Amino acid sequence: MGRMLEEAVRYARAQDLLHPGMHVLVACSGGPDSLALLDMLLQFRRRFRLVLTAAHFEHGIRGASSAEDARFVAAFCRERKVPCFIGHGDVPAVAKAQGKSVELAARELRYAFLWQTLERCGADVLATAHHADDQAETVLMRILRGTGLDGLAAMKPREGKKIRPLLFARREDILGYCQERGLTPRHDATNDIPDCTRNLLRLKVLPYLRQSCNPEVARALCQLAELARVDCDYLEQQLEESWPYLTREEDGRCSIVLIAFQRRHPALQRRALRRLYTGMAGMGRDLGFSHVEELRLLALSGQATGKTMELPGGIEAHFTYDRLILRPALPKREPQESASAVPVIVPGRIDYGEAVLEAELLEALPAGDGSRGFYLDAGVLRGAPLVLRHRQPGDFIELPTGRKKLKEVLIDDKVPREMRAGLLLLATGHEILWVVGRRRTSHYPVTDQTKRILYFQIKEKGNKK
């Protein structure tokens, strides 16, 4: 066995990439990297008892040359009795129609085909031929665009059902392997044109850095990626252990407990915010540094209660007294005038929005009132008229400890700011008798001297119970 194959076996075992009896779908473009990968796996087939299938996506970018690539891969596989799936697409047309770069459209269409093929043939993993020089290009590209520790980790040997068995190998070693094995891979001429960021880095920037700064720049960048990957794994492990203490699950929605969040290291705080967002937005969506940091500083400020913040993907962050909640952003509505005060007729029934208030006079206390019932001495009727309404400036309520502004009561009760304007109030003038479902006045109590009791019940419209 040659040196390259020995290294490939060691790497596959060290990274736990191949298992006995595994069905591997190999993405093969026909170029040197993917052809070498398919050839190596064919040599591993007996040792690992592998089942191999190949897949090639003909993207239509290079016309007749693209079609010839597909025929070449099909013939290569046929000679070696490897099942091969060929997919076709018009990448330039899709890129134009969707307003995307050709590179992005090609990647999306290619991977859509590969994952569909994996499901179709029942393979366990998808093997791609990314190598060490690809890794160096990826790390450098992410540094230039702006990235964090996860971005520096770049490509991993295994990500879900995707494996990269050649991530240890340099491009020159792969070309040498092809020559030793007598392989005649196809050449994609578009890779020789510095018309996109990756090609520019590979053809211009990295050669310059090798010549002027560090002959081993690719190795250094790959080493950086490996160190970042291990550190990321450790931070994820720490976050996983902290997650049950950092969060609460209610009504199928996860929220961050602010007091627990504030005690964590900033590295875990940022990671927790990103995980919360990904859980809401879906895998493949991440939150940028500026949004993460703005959220984090708000959470640490102690003054975030009631604030909301718009995030990408139609999501908004909302702070309550003790939680950070992510939720779908509510559609913006034109401001509407709040419902005016409605006089309360005793006895009688009053409709107010989706609520119904029933009022009656009793000779004795009701059997039970609960949070949706309220009673007081009917002597209140000798004062200002009773009304059902929402909050107004100057509102107050009489409590056993004395008179208190309604605003202060709602703050003490930790009622979220966005809910306060919608609270239903039974009032006489600016005196609040009942914050429906919450607080009741201590004024006008029912005593032995009470002759008649004024009793209220609040119901949802359409509910007669």
Residue stretches of the annotated binding site for ATP = 29-34
Check: CB of residue 124 under 8 Å from CB of residue 24.
yes
Phi, psi of 247 (to 5 degrees): -130, 165
Q: Give the C-alpha separation, 416 to 414, whole Å.
A: 6
Phi, psi of 233 (to 5 degrees): -60, -40
One DSSP character per residue, 162-174 reads EE-TTTT--HHHH
Check: CB of residue 174 under 8 Å from CB of residue 131.
yes
One DSSP character per residue, 164-226 reads -TTTT--HHHHHHHHHHTT------GGGGS--SHHHHIIIIIHHHHHHHT-TTHHHHHHHHHH
CB neighbours of residue 285 within 10 Å: 14
CB proximity list for 387: less than 8 A, separation 6 or greater: 341, 342, 343, 344, 426, 427, 428
Residue 406 tokens, joined? 């309604």
Please identify which residue in the block is written with the tokens 């702070």. Answer: 319
Sheet holding 247-250, edge to edge: 247-250, 253-257, 323-328, 315-319, 308-311
CB proximity list for 306: less than 8 A, separation 6 or greater: 319, 320, 416, 417, 418
For 110, the 3-state DSSP assignment is helix
Annotated binding site: 29-34
Between helices 266-281 and 289-301, what is the axis angle to 10°? 110
Q: Is 439 exposed, middle or buried (0-12, 13-18, 19+ CB in 10 A)?
A: buried
Strand partners, 373: 457
CA proximity to 153, closest of 224, 79, 85: 224
